[in-house]
A = this chain, B = another copy of it.
Amino acid sequence: MNYIGQEIQDFSVKAYQQGELKDVTKKDVLGKWSVFFFYPADFSFVCPTELEDLQAKYSQFKAAGAEIYSVSEDTEFAHFAWAEASEGIGKIQYPMLADPAGKLAKAFDVLNEDLGQTYRAAFVVDPDGVIQSYTINNMGIGRNAAEIFRTLQAAQFVRAHGDKVCPASWQPGDDVLEPGTDLVGKL
């Protein structure tokens, strides 16, 4: 099933954020842009670099009005312990969702059921909870926080301007196209 244009399902999970345990639900997500960033497991190898890569750009995402939610199939206790044990993870400021029951992973269809871990997937969700872009990589292939941010900005631009659309590799400030019959077949 293709998830573009689908609204995310209701959910309620535990989360770890900067030394605190809390609840996060769909209601918390609505009203602002969000990125759901799935990774296979706490205490494993590639994952930390991806999470730290995101943290390095966290202030940019916040400035753009977006929240980041990392998600793994570990418990909130494991997130807590990982943050205590790892210097890099300890610095993460965004909420780390705990999905041991697999609810989010199944809702986004990124669970590798044989391993009980998720693929490396990132979803860009608009303030109405509707998925606008997503990327899923096989287990070993890391993602790029900069590209996720570029995609978020493009999605925000389309939502804001409607009749204008972004050309390839667009960055804020680049020219945008104004569709019209004068352009048919001319580009």
- A: residues with CB less than 8 A from B are 1-5, 19-21, 41-50, 52-54, 73-75, 77-78, 80-82, 84-86, 88, 99-103, 109-110, 113-117, 119, 132-138, 140-147, 150-151, 154-155, 158, 165-170, 177, 179, 181, 183-187
Residues of chain B with a CB closer than 8 A to A82's CB = 81, 185
Known contacts A81-B85, A141-B151, A170-B142; A75/B41 CB under 8 A = yes
Known contacts A46-B168, A168-B49; A133/B138 CB under 8 A = yes
Cβ of B84 and Cβ of A187 under 8 Å apart?
no
A110 to nearest B CB, angstroms? 6
A115 to B1, CA, bound (A): 17
A141 to B5, CA, bound (A): 13
Cβ of A168 and Cβ of B145 under 8 Å apart?
yes
Q: Which of B20, B115, B133, B144 sits near A100, CB closer than 8 Å?
A: B115
Cβ of A136 and Cβ of B4 under 8 Å apart?
yes
Known contacts A41-B75, A80-B184, A81-B81; A138/B144 CB under 8 A = no
A167 to B115, CA, bound (A): 20
